[in-house]
Amino acid sequence: MKQSSLWMGLLLLWLSSMAPSQVAAQKNDRNQPTLPGRDGHKYVPYEQRKGNESVVYFTRNLSAEGLIKAYEQVKGNIMGKVGVKLHTGEPQGPNILPRQWVKSLMEKELADANIVETNTYYKGDRYTTEQHRKTLDVNGWNFCSVDIMDAEDTVTIPVKGGKWFTKMSVGSHMLRYNSLVMLTHFKGHTQGGFGGSNKNIGIGCADGRMGKAWIHTTPGQPNQWDIREEEFMERMTESTKATIDYFGKHVAYVNVMRNMSVSCDCEDIHAAPVVTPNVGILSSTDVLAIDQACVDIIYALTAGEHHDLVERIETRHGLRQLSYMKELGMGNDKYVLIDLDNGGKRITAADAAKGLKPFVSDNQK
């Protein structure tokens, strides 16, 4: 009995000495280490995929009207208290979603909703709630209430079927909402390769101190961003799964393929120049299908048009986001792409990528 108590005490001492992220990730015994998947740098063509198809809507109309039209196709299960999650950006970020588009959408379709955000894991102009609110004002997000979900506290929600986590830490205010509308600026990303709806949720809803640390950092070493490539994609995706499992069918996704720098909107005025043409707006109720469709359109562009973004995606092994979402049962990587500009005709990603004009910044128009 004494020996059993001693071992129990040692176990509790060991667990208490671990960082929260270590506890959250401790799912296998020491003889069975958790290993990431592979081939996150390899693009899988549509015809090689298996499974069912989801519906993704597409319009070339990059405007407030186009955003509203895309959202109207997927709003059927949005009800109750609604959070609108978008990347509100660092100060003066040149590529974030146009505020007037979002304002028009919310005034017409989401008048009682709040924009929702979380503080950053890196120190900067959105690190604390006070700093974050100043940046929101600078960037013009002052036409409606903005709820910084981790301003007061955090909660954990379960990760079902994950291999890195059993739970994810998110802002406590998330539990105030019944539905989530994802307005995502699709672009490149420094570590994720690309930032679509998966990144907007997985990183954007994890709180700034715990959740984001669990995804980005191995405890006990100095590099804040040491978790990379396939492991990073999987951790981020498990975080996304926790949130969309929480909301169930009450999530709608809208991806805007405009001003697609290889840099994330967290890189403010230092973002790499945009060289990829603007494409359009997509919407779906399937997180995998919408991100996959955006990636397929990027790959369908000419070599000159997509070189930088494809290089960013593949060198970061970002395609593991897509394959892991499929493994976790989060959606379908096959889809019916509906052209809202041509009577609901079914088109391909290659059709959506045809005849695009070279990128011209708003300041050059």
Give the pLDDT confidence of 125-183 residue by residue, as tens digits: 999 999 999 999 999 999 999 999 999 999 999 999 999 999 999 999 999 999 999 99
In whole angstroms, give the CA distance from residue 9 to residue 12: 5
Q: Is the distance from CB of 338 to CB of 57 less than 8 angstroms?
A: yes
Write out pLDDT tens, residues 69-120. 999 999 999 999 999 999 999 998 888 999 999 999 999 999 999 999 999 9
Q: Residue 158: enclosing H or E segment and its boundaries? A: strand 154-158
pLDDT digits (tens, 9 = 90+) for 214-253: 999 999 999 999 999 999 999 999 999 999 999 999 999 9
Region of 73 on the Ramachandran plot (φ > 0 left; ψ -120 to 50 alpha; else beta): alpha
Closest by CA position to 73, among listed 91, 61, 88: 61
Give 303-353 pLDDT, tens digit per residue.
Answer: 999 999 999 999 999 999 999 999 999 999 999 999 999 999 999 999 999
DSSP, residue by residue, 233-284: HHHHHHHHHHHHHHHTT-EEEEEEE-S--SS-GGGGGGSPPP-SPP-EEEEE
At residue 355 the predicted structure's pLDDT band, cuts being 50, 70 and 90, is: very high
